[in-house]
Amino acid sequence: MTRAIWCVLLLVACGAPPQATSDSATSMAAAMRLPTDGWIDVTAVLAPGRTPVYEGDAPLRVEQLKDMRRGDALTLSKLDMGAHSGTHVDAPRHFVRDGVGIDSIPLERLIGAARVIVIDDSVQAITRAELDRHDWRGAPRLLFRTRSSARGWMDSVQFHRDFAYLAPDAADALVDAAVQLVGIDYISAEQFGASAPETHRRLLGRGIPIVEGLDLRGAPAGDCDVIILPLRVAGADGAPARALLRPRARR
């Protein structure tokens, strides 16, 4: 039974007039309604032939086990993909031997205030120097919109090696600033072919989850609220996620 109904019953039991009961129930229902306006879905679509897959990772497959269009009583599909497919979250366990799995990441790191930083198309390496060209300090969560969004690479099955990435010295700056979460708009935050995964190690080693594969084409620069919810897979090193963003009104 909902809280609004309980309130109505309480008012009736106390002898409240019918009109007061009706008005109170309406007011309570309105107060409990979760506003959905202004949210932008920044999740990349998962689809074979459309979703990029990191070179060497498990391919994405969707198999139709049953299909009503073929005369079956229901439609039923099977998904076969890697844990780091599409928009996903890297858990510390991905590169930290004793790091926590995706199911143990605190919700407060995944939900809350954030800032979208727009990196110029000409920039591939987001170094400390490049980071400091932008207003990033004070934001608890940072999402980087780069050349990958500008070129629509999260909506192209071709894997691009020259995606923008976060350099280790920039990762160190974010760690020092106690950033809670880092996101980027391609399927890795690490330079392709890097000799060692230093960016991942430095962020994940401090418990900072990394959201990769965001589709930030519709996300404006500036402050926002984010909700990023990875699948709760026990002990997993990562998992696909649904990611929502709502820009904050500028004053």
Predicted pLDDT at 37 = 87
- pLDDT, one tens digit per residue, over 36-65 is 889 999 999 999 999 999 999 999 999 999
- pLDDT, one tens digit per residue, over 185-203 is 999 999 999 999 999 999 9
pLDDT at residue 235 is higher than 50 = yes
Predicted pLDDT at 26 = 61
* Average pLDDT over every residue of 62-73: 96
Active-site residue, selected from the candidate residues 94, 134, 160, 200: 94
* Average pLDDT over every residue of 93-99: 95
CA-CA distance, 196 to 61, in Å (whole number)?
30
- pLDDT, one tens digit per residue, over 133-176 is 999 999 999 999 999 999 999 999 999 999 999 999 999 999 99
Share of the chain above pLDDT 90, in %: 84
3-state secondary structure the chain: CCHHHHHHHHHHHCCCCHHHHHHHHHHHHHHHCCCCCCCEECECCCCCCCCCCCCCCCCCEEEEEECHHHCCCCCEEEEECCCCCCCEEECHHHCCCCCCCHHHCCHHHHEEEEEEEECCCCCCEECHHHHCCCCCCCCCEEEEECHHHHCCHHHCCCCCCCCCEECHHHHHHHHHCCCCEEEECCCCCCCCCCCCCHHHHHHHCCCCCEEECECCCCCCCEEEEEEEEECCCCCCCEEEEEEEEEECCCC
Sorted by where each starts, the structural domains of the chain and their CATH numbers stand as: 3-32 (no CATH), 41-247 (3.50.30.50)
Predicted pLDDT at 249 = 78
88 counts as catalytic: no
pLDDT at residue 24 is higher than 90 = no
Higher pLDDT, residue 26 or 4: 26
Predicted pLDDT at 28 = 55
Does the pTM surpass 0.75? The reply is yes
Predicted pLDDT at 57 = 96
